[in-house]
Amino acid sequence: MTKKSKKAAFTLAEVLITLGIIGVVAAMTLPSLIQERTNKALYVALWKNYSVMQQAIMRMTIDKGELAKAGDYDTWTFKNYFREYFNVVQYYGTVGGTGMGGEGEDGEYDMYKMESYRTYTLKSTVSTNRLDDGQFLVNDGTLYLLQNSGNAKHQIYISVDVNGLRKGPNAWGHDLFTFQLTTGGKVIPMGAEGTDYDDLDTYCSPSSTDKENGIGCTYRALYDKNYWKELP
């Protein structure tokens, strides 16, 4: 019996080697598993906010008695109507047209910096021209950033940081996504055919150096099953 027990037992060296192999395998696979889980959470949050935006526009239309659409709102005014349909915990408005990064309505310096956002490639900061016409933070931590060029250009873009600026990666096409409110009252994911940024070679490309690269990724992020696996 003693001989059989010794034969079946593992030596300390064998146990250490086995644990070492397990550790190496875990170190190799754990980061990808964590990233996959993070991407899944961002994907779900993106769909949630897409639905919330559509509901908000629908309610605006009902309250207004006619379509709430691009072209109906003077420069910087859309935010005043749109934010009424959210549980806003902090409103940042616009400051001299520059939006966030300036003095807020309460006189306090805004802690949220648009300059923190990066392009799709993560290599450079974004052009903030499409994010600075009003911003508000809602109770679940989501941050909305608006572009409202007035009724002449018919430009209303609704960008949403689905996990808030306090959490990374803070990049267009990763956790920051942009939608377009059309003159027909529809909320369309940017990058879809017919939106202002449907040139994906420029606005959703791992090789583009454009300062707005990533603004056109929203459609792919929603509907391309391989999108989240190919993020730079």
Q: Which residue has the higher pLDDT, 167 or 25?
A: 167
What's the pLDDT score for residue 158?
A: 98
What's the pLDDT score for residue 195?
A: 97
What's the pLDDT score for residue 99?
A: 46
What's the pLDDT score for residue 43?
A: 97
In the sheet that holds 143-148, the strands lie side by side as 88-91, 135-138, 143-148, 156-161, 176-181, 187-189
Condensed to tens digits (0 to 9), the pLDDT of residues 118-160 reads: 999 999 999 888 988 888 899 999 999 999 987 778 899 999 9
pTM above 0.85, yes or no: no
Condensed to tens digits (0 to 9), the pLDDT of residues 24-69 reads: 665 656 566 566 888 999 999 999 999 999 999 999 999 999 999 9
Condensed to tens digits (0 to 9), the pLDDT of residues 169-224 reads: 999 999 999 999 999 999 999 999 999 999 999 999 999 999 999 999 999 999 99
Confidence category of residue 9, pLDDT binned at 50, 70, 90 = confident
CB 185 within 8 A of CB 198: no
Residue 109 has pLDDT above 90, yes or no: no
What's the pLDDT score for residue 152?
A: 78
Residue 96 has pLDDT above 60, yes or no: no
Residue 108 has pLDDT above 50, yes or no: no
- The residues, ordered by sequence, that sit 6+ positions from 82 with a Cβ below 8 Å of its Cβ are 56, 60, 144, 146, 158
What's the pLDDT score for residue 224?
A: 97
What's the pLDDT score for residue 111?
A: 42
Distance of CA 44 to the CA centre of its chain: 11
Bond from prior residue into 206 cis (ω within 30 degrees of 0) = no
